[in-house]
Amino acid sequence: MKFKIDENLPVDVAKLLKQAGHEADTVHDEGITGADDITISKICKKEKRIIITLDLGFADIRTYPPADFEGIIVLRLIKQDRKYVLGIAERLVTALESENLTGKLWIVDEKRIRVRQ
């Protein structure tokens, strides 16, 4: 799978995905830091990448219909420090082994992954 890691996440999330055999680019590495959500979403569509973000705006299915994307993953976490986010990302990598994300929105919290289509 191909991922785009939003600027609000540690770059280590991309490293974790790469170690699991996925392709992962960061917004920072591509020089689009500070771009608005619409711009990021258009780039993800064009590149057929799954966006991973802490930005709850991407959970709005009226603005970002999951069917229009390779996938959207929104992390909705109590804490957002690097160590905590990486722990959740490890759990996410495990879930990716058995689930297809195409056309789906995953809202990931500490206890579960909610899936919307």
Residue 62: what residue type?
Answer: R
Report whether 106 contacts 73 (CB < 8 A).
Answer: yes
Q: Tokens 């879930």 — which residue?
A: 95
- 81's enclosing H/E stretch is none
Sequence-distant (≥ 6) Cβ neighbours of residue 63 within 8 angstroms: 57
Phi and psi dihedrals of 60, rounded to 5?
-80, 105
Residue type, 71: G
12: tokens are 């280590």
* Domains defined for the chain, CATH in brackets: 2-116 (3.40.50)
pLDDT tens track, the chain, 117 positions? 999 999 999 999 999 999 999 999 999 988 888 899 999 999 999 999 999 999 999 999 999 999 999 999 999 999 999 999 999 999 999 998 888 899 999 999 999 999 988
Dihedral sign of CA atoms 40, 19, 77, 113 in order = positive
- Tokens encoding 84: 């905590």
Distance from C-alpha of 32 to C-alpha of 101, rounded to nearest angstrom: 24
Q: Which residues pair with 26 in a beta bridge?
A: 5
